[in-house]
Amino acid sequence: AQTVTQSQPEMSVQEAETVTLSCTYDTSENNYYLFWYKQPPSRQMILVIRQEAYKQQNATENRFSVNFQKAAKSFSLKISDSQLGDTAMYFCAFMKYTGANSKLTFGKGITLSVRP
């Protein structure tokens, strides 16, 4: 079974600065996907970024980028130029690539606070 670990329960960052959220996972699979989801106080889960394991290039989406280290089974999220609207819980998630049975396994999340 796959496990996803987010060891930092809370983090805080000053507005406009950069912050990195850590995530590690355990799997014996070679083909899989990794995701970061954001859950603001409204509790709506929003997809932030995704990474395919077969791609060596790290994914980026505007101010959000990942550092994917497949051998180390590490998948961290970097948020640049932090904004107040980035305040949220962030969940790392793993999906084994099985085509028709694509289940997500989530970490326990990290609460990020952006200070004005």
Partner 1 sequence: DGGITQSPKYLFRKEGQNVTLSCEQNLNHDAMYWYRQDPGQGLRLIYYSQIVNDFQKGDIAEGYSVSREKKESFPLTVTSAQKNPTAFYLCASSFRDGPYEQYFGPGTRLTVT
For partner 1, the binding residues (CB under 8 A) are 4, 33, 35, 37, 42-47, 50, 91, 95, 97, 99-104, 106-109
Smallest distance from partner 1 to CB 100, Å: 6
Judge contact between 93 and 37, C-beta under 8 A: yes
Written as six digits, the tokens of 13 are: 């960052």
Of 79 and 93, the one with the shorter C-beta distance to partner 1 is 93
Distance separating alpha carbons of residues 5 and 109, to the nearest angstrom: 9
Smallest distance from partner 1 to CB 15, Å: 27
Provide CB contacts within 8 A for 99, sequence distance 6+.
none
Of 43 and 71, the one with the shorter C-beta distance to partner 1 is 43
Judge contact between 87 and 102, C-beta under 8 A: no
Of 14 and 102, the one with the shorter C-beta distance to partner 1 is 102
Of 69 and 98, the one with the shorter C-beta distance to partner 1 is 98
Judge contact between 63 and 80, C-beta under 8 A: yes
Smallest distance from partner 1 to CB 12, Å: 18
Distance separating alpha carbons of residues 67 and 69, to the nearest angstrom: 6
Smallest distance from partner 1 to CB 106, Å: 3
